[in-house]
Amino acid sequence: MNSNTATKAKPRKHPVVLFIHKLGSPPWFYDFAGKFIPWLWLIFGVLTVLGLYLGLVKAPEDYLQGQSVRIIYLHVPAAWMSMMIYSSMAVMGFIALVWRIRIVEILAMASAPIGAAFTIVTLTAGSLWGRPTWGTYWVWDARLTSELVLLFLYLGVIGLYNSIDEPRKAARAACLLAIVGAVNLPIIHYSVKWWNTLHQGSSISLMGGSSIDSSMLYPLLIMAVATKFYYGANLLTRARIKLLEQDKRKAWVREILKEKN
């Protein structure tokens, strides 16, 4: 082999780097996401049925909370999701602002309505759990109030994004708001430690283990995993639709629509 040809050979990209590069291509992302979505919905469905069966049928009632503990299998995973989605939206917002990657902008903005939905579920389920357990639907407690502020932040991001006509400018402005609003996340998490609140502290922690019995812990964790798949499926669906909308004058979108006809 000629040594000159060996030195001139193009260096091969690492598969992970290649994958990240491909994700930046709208037609490739559209096709790739489309293959994943049905599987994500399927796993979400199976896990939800299993989690609800274990939580609503098999798990015992709590010695203090009684049957109302069953609301926890919805409330806690939704609360975790409301914070996790906001964190990922802020991280994606930062990436979008620094590296100007359009797909990441779209993913960040598509996260906001899903996060808002989980926050609404958290607040309503928590309120309905509070009535039989605390004797009230609502108190202006630090945890509840900071979670309500999270809902307003989500609504602010959605509102700001929709108020500007040019989608990339709109995404940049909304990403900035998402990053600034991330300051609320540690406030929500530590509110039960920093202030004397009616809301109880964490029963599960990544480092400190769990104080919940396994018969209640497993359905809770299964529901927590199920909601991640819901987020994945919903996020990719929304991102694909936003791509279609933004690229409606481009050839790849027209080819896809012609193929479907």
Partner 1 sequence: MDHTPFIIAAYSIGFVVLLWCAVAPLMRKKSIARDIRRLIQIEERSRDPNS
Angle at 113 between CA 109 and CA 118, to 5 degrees: 130
Residues 136, 119: Cα–Cα separation, whole Å: 19
Least distance (Å) between residue 75 CB and partner 1: 7
Q: Is 93 a residue that touches partner 1 (CB under 8 A)?
A: no
Task: Say what angle helices 214-246 and 72-99 make with each other, to 10 degrees.
Answer: 40
Among positions 172-231, residues that touch partner 1 (CB under 8 A) are 230
Least distance (Å) between residue 258 CB and partner 1: 8
Q: Would you say 222 and 54 are in contact if contact means Cβ atoms under 8 Å apart? A: yes
**Residue number with CB closer to partner 1 (12 or 260):** 260
Q: Is 234 a residue that touches partner 1 (CB under 8 A)?
A: yes
Distances (CA, A) of 227 to 87, 139, 173, 252: 15, 27, 28, 32
- In degrees to the nearest 10, what's the CA dihedral of 24, 30, 31, 32? 60
Least distance (Å) between residue 248 CB and partner 1: 5
Chain position carrying tokens 């497993």: 218
Task: State the DSSP string of 117-168.
Answer: HHHHHHHHHHHHHHHHHHS-S----HHHHHHHHHHHHHHHHHHHHHH-SSHH
Binding mask 20-39 for partner 1 (x = CB under 8 A): --------------------
Q: Residue from 92, 96, 109, 114 that binds partner 1 (CB under 8 A)? A: 114
* Token representation of residue 21: 């590069």
Q: Residue from 24, 38, 66, 201 that binds partner 1 (CB under 8 A)? A: 66
Which range of residues in 72-80, 82-90, 145-153, 205-213 is near partner 1 by CB under 8 A? 72-80
Q: Residue from 40, 142, 150, 253 that binds partner 1 (CB under 8 A)? A: 253
Q: Residue from 54, 71, 83, 171 that binds partner 1 (CB under 8 A)? A: 71
Residues 243, 170: Cα–Cα separation, whole Å: 15
> What are the residues binding partner 1 (CB under 8 A)?
56, 66-68, 70-71, 74-75, 78, 113-114, 117-118, 120-121, 124-125, 128-129, 131-132, 230, 233-234, 237-238, 240-241, 244-245, 248-249, 253-254, 257, 260-261
